[in-house]
Structure 1
Amino acid sequence: MHTSTHTVLHDPDGLIEAGLPLDREPHESLVKAVLAWTGEDTLTTRDYEQITLQLTGHARARAADVRRRADQLPKNSGLKALADVVLREAEGRLFATVEGTVRCVHRARLVRPLYERLDRLEAAVRVL
């Protein structure tokens, strides 16, 4: 007998995620805090793991936003080509295995260019 109460949601186009708010401010604050670390932090290994998970999830969500916005532009658009470069770099960083605080810093450095690209793409899509 199967007693699961979970519902599987099929959303191949990511339309539900596209409608979710960005929660930008707390993540940008976290990025700033991580990049300001001096190496004398008293965080535990679990803290670093949680920060990395938070930044990784946020980077993946922002990369999906960048992809959706870039896909709205014409194929020969320079903005789309730049978005593709940022997305390729993001993908490589997201799958790289690093340890400890370095992992947090790599993820923090990834979130910033994704937001920069997302801002430029959103402005371009509004003009279309």
Structure 2
Amino acid sequence: MKNLFLTLTTVLILGTISMSSQDAAAEPTKMEQVMASHDVVMDKMPLISKLINQLQTKANASYEKKKYEDAIADLKNANKSMMTWMESFGKRFNANEMLKGKELTPQKQEWILEEEENVSLLDEEINLSIDQAQAVLNN
């Protein structure tokens, strides 16, 4: 009887540990993935400002202002796209859904898939504008 009790106790403990480790290793939700993508893009905003300042300095000292001004315009458009995306996202989802894991309605589950694509496109736009600005600065 003691062996049966010890075996059952061991199985329950191991099962609990296994379930706990599975929960910890669970995949992030779509919202968490989109918010993480947002954070990656947001981290690039200071670089955009820095590049704008560098390009403006070069433009002020150059007779070929157009290439610098074009790069500045691209960076500003990328920054504006980020602000527009954040505003739109904030209209679709509330803080509890974004930050506290509140379950999404079926409609919002569709929206989060759209937003996942939108933030990916935004990241590409920002990366392209940064790459182009750096290329202009390095020439």
| Bin of the TM-score, shorter chain as denominator length | 0.5 to 0.7
Instruction: Give the alignment partner of residue 122 of structure 2, picking from 104, 110, 124.
Output: 110
1:89 corresponds to: 81
TM-score of the two chains, using structure 2 as the length reference:
0.52
Q: Is the 8 A contact 1:73 1:125 kept in 2?
A: yes
Q: Number of aligned pairs? A: 83
Rg comparison, structure with higher value: 2
Structure 1 unaligned regions, length at least 5: 1-43
TM superposition shift of 1:63: 2.8
Whole-angstrom CA distance in 2 between matches of 1:109 and 1:78? 21
Structure 2 unaligned regions, length at least 5: 1-25, 60-64, 93-110
Whole-angstrom CA distance in 1 between matches of 2:34 and 2:126? 16
Amino acid at match of 1:49: M
Alignment partner of 1:69 is 2:51 = yes
Whole-angstrom CA distance in 1 between matches of 2:122 and 2:52? 18
Q: Deviations over 1:45-91 (max 9, x none)?
A: x5101111111001111233222112211266221122112211221
Alignment partner of 1:123 is 2:115 = no
Q: CA RMSD in A?
A: 2.1
Amino acid at match of 1:51: Q
User: Larger % of helix: which?
Assistant: 2
Whole-angstrom CA distance in 1 between matches of 2:83 and 2:31? 19
Please give the secondary structure, in 2, of the residue aligned with 1:85.
helix
Whole-angstrom CA distance in 1 between matches of 2:48 and 2:131? 9
TM superposition shift of 1:121: 0.9
TM-score of the two chains, using structure 1 as the length reference:
0.56
